[in-house]
Amino acid sequence: MPQPGYILPPTPKQVDYARHLAARLGARIPAEAANDRRALSQWIDRHKARAAERRPPGSGATSRQVAFAERIARAKRRAVPEECFRDAKLMSRWISANR
C-alpha cells in the first residue's frame, strides 16, 4: 500500500488512452494529470463522455467491438447479426446479451 501523500504514476495504458482521447478531441492533458494516476483517471472520465458524444448516431461498430463479438460468436458457435456491424449500440447490446 502506498505511503500517505504518495502520488502513483499513471499506468502506460492510462497514458495511451488519454493521448488517444486528447488527439481525438483536440484537447490538452494538463501536466499535473500526466504525472498522477488519480488526476489522469479523472481527466479521462471527463473527456471520455465528450468523445462518445462526437460519435455520429448509427455509426458502425468499433474494431474492438467487432473483434470481441467475433470471439464470442466463435465460442458460442453462432453468428453476429449483420445489422450489429452497422450500429455500435446494437453491437454493444448483442455483446452484453451473449457474454
Q: With H, G, I as helix, E, B as strand and everything else as coil, classify residue 73.
A: helix
Mean pLDDT score of the chain: 87
Q: Do the Cβ atoms of 50 and 25 come closer than 8 Å?
A: yes
The one-letter amino acid at 64: R
Q: Sorting pLDDT into bands at 50, 70 and 90, what band is 37?
A: very high
Question: What ranges in the chain are assigned the alpha helix state H?
Answer: 12-25, 31-34, 37-54, 63-76, 82-86, 88-98
Task: Report whether pLDDT(33) > 60.
Answer: yes
Can you give the residue ranges of every domain in the chain?
12-54, 63-98
- The pTM for the full model equals 0.53
Question: 45-64: per-residue pLDDT in tens?
Answer: 998 877 766 666 657 888 89
Q: Do the Cβ atoms of 30 and 43 come closer than 8 Å?
A: yes
Task: Report whether pLDDT(1) > 70.
Answer: no
